[in-house]
């Protein structure tokens, strides 16, 4: 059997506030197979976002290991971790997190500029632009290429964020309440889009949500409470 595309092994995460040590994650074990979708459910403050950050190499675990394709990743040098974060995972956030100065197209293109040198990018800029436009068309924003985030609706912004996460062709999507800020109608559209792409491309998906019905659409549901997996 293949190694899981993403794996957490006995992950602990403590935050220290002053002298106090606050345990947020207390021994998480989680494996995600290629193409698998996992819903992460839990009360607010359960540590879902924290786990996602640890899985996505944004935050180191206090103890325990995160493995990509069976290889531990948090011990790697910082530049290497950045490269892996770029290649292996794509983040989608509740609040979209687009850069306000950039147009939709530029925000997506940015994902192509992370791991190449300025000169290297110059050579492939036409191809990169074509790929970004194709990606925006796929998420239904072909007519919104040159709009700034402030000129887009919430649903449109989230589609841009999804396009950005996908442009680097990652193997895993880490989505943190991607519909949490959207009305139900818009949310449904975004959800359809996400699951569609996930299926088509055979991506792994870790989806943090409060929505039980949304969670049911995933292959597997993992419930988090007080920093441990309860089911």
Partner 1 sequence: MIAAFSPFLAVRYLVTRRINLLGIAGVMFAVWAMLVVDAVFTGFVSGIRRDVRTSTTDLLVTDLPHDTGYERLREAIEADTGLVAATAPRLRHHGMLQRVRQPQRRVRTQGSSQVDFDHTENGFALLVGIDPVREEAVSGLRSWLVRGPEELAQRYPGDFWSSTVLDEPDLERRSQLRAKDEVEWAARRRSNLPAAKNVQQHRADMPGVLFGWQRIRRTGALPEAEPFDLLVAAVGSDNQLRSDSDRVQFAGCFATGHRMFDENAVLLPIETLRTLLGLDSFDPASVDLVTDIAVRVRRDTSASALVAGKQRLQRAVQALLPPGSPPCSVLDWEEQNLVFLSAVAHEQAMMQFVLFVVMLVAAFVIYATLHMMVVQKVKDIGIMAAIGGSPAGIGAVFLVGGFTVGAVGALLGIGAGLLSVQYLNPVNDWLFANFQVELFPRTLFDLREIPCDLEPSWIAKVGIGAVLLALVVAFVPSRKASRMNPVQALSHE
Residues that bind partner 1 (CB under 8 A): 53, 56, 58-59, 78-79, 82-83, 85-87, 90-91, 93, 97-99, 101-102, 106, 110-118, 120-122, 164-165, 168
4 binds, among Mg ion, partner 1, ligand ADP, none (CB under 5 to 8 A by kind): none
Nearest CB to partner 1, comparing residues 113 and 188: 113
83 binds, among ligand ADP, partner 1, Mg ion, none (CB under 5 to 8 A by kind): partner 1
- State the CB neighbour count (10 A cutoff) for residue 110: 15
Instruction: Determine the Cα–Cα distance for residues 80 and 131; give it in Å rounded to an integer.
Output: 25
* Residue partners of 155: CB distance under 8 A and separation at least 6: 182, 186, 187, 189, 190
Phi–psi pair at 220, nearest 5 degrees: -145, 145
Sole binder of ligand ADP in the list 47, 64, 149, 178 (CB under 6 A): 47
CB of 55 vs ligand ADP, minimal distance in Å: 12
Nearest CB to partner 1, comparing residues 115 and 188: 115
Phi–psi pair at 133, nearest 5 degrees: -65, -45
The residues in 28-87 that bind Mg ion, with binding defined as CB under 5 A, are 49
Nearest CB to partner 1, comparing residues 130 and 230: 130
Q: Is 7 in the site for Mg ion (CB under 5 A)?
A: no
Instruction: Determine the Cα–Cα distance for residues 96 and 92; give it in Å rounded to an integer.
Output: 7
Token pair in block for residue 74: 């948090």
Instruction: Determine the Cα–Cα distance for residues 231 and 228; give it in Å rounded to an integer.
Output: 9
165 binds, among ligand ADP, partner 1, Mg ion, none (CB under 5 to 8 A by kind): partner 1
Token pair in block for residue 75: 């011990």
The 71-72 sheet, strands edge to edge? 20-32, 6-17, 63-68, 71-72
CB of 48 vs Mg ion, minimal distance in Å: 5
Sole binder of ligand ADP in the list 4, 42, 149, 155 (CB under 6 A): 42
**Interface residues with ligand ADP (CB under 6 A)?**
15, 17, 22, 24, 42, 44-50
């Amino acid at each position: 059997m293949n190694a899981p595309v993403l794996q957490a092994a006995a992950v602990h995460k403590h935050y220290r506030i002053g002298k106090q040590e606050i345990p947020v994650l207390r021994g998480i074990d989680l494996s995600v197979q290629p193409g698998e979708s996992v819903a992460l459910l839990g009360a607010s403050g359960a540590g879902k976002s924290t786990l996602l950050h640890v899985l996505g190499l944004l935050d180191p675990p206090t103890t325990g290991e995160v493995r990509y394709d069976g290889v531990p990743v948090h011990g790697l040098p910082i530049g290497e971790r950045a490269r892996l974060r770029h290649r292996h995972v794509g983040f989608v956030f509740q609040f979209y997190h687009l850069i306000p100065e950039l147009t939709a197209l530029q925000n997506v293109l940015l994902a192509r500029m992370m791991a190449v040198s300025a000169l290297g990018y110059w050579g492939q800029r036409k191809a990169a632009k074509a790929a970004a436009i194709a990606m925006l068309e796929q998420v239904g924003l072909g007519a919104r290429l040159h709009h700034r985030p402030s000129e887009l609706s919430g649903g449109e912004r989230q589609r841009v964020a999804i396009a950005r996460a996908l442009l680097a062709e990652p193997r895993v999507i880490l989505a943190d309440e991607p519909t949490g800020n959207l009305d139900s109608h818009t949310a449904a559209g975004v959800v359809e889009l996400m699951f569609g792409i996930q299926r088509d491309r055979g991506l792994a998906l870790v989806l943090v949500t409060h929505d039980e019905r949304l969670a049911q659409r995933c292959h597997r549901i993992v419930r988090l409470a007080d920093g441990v997996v309860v089911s």
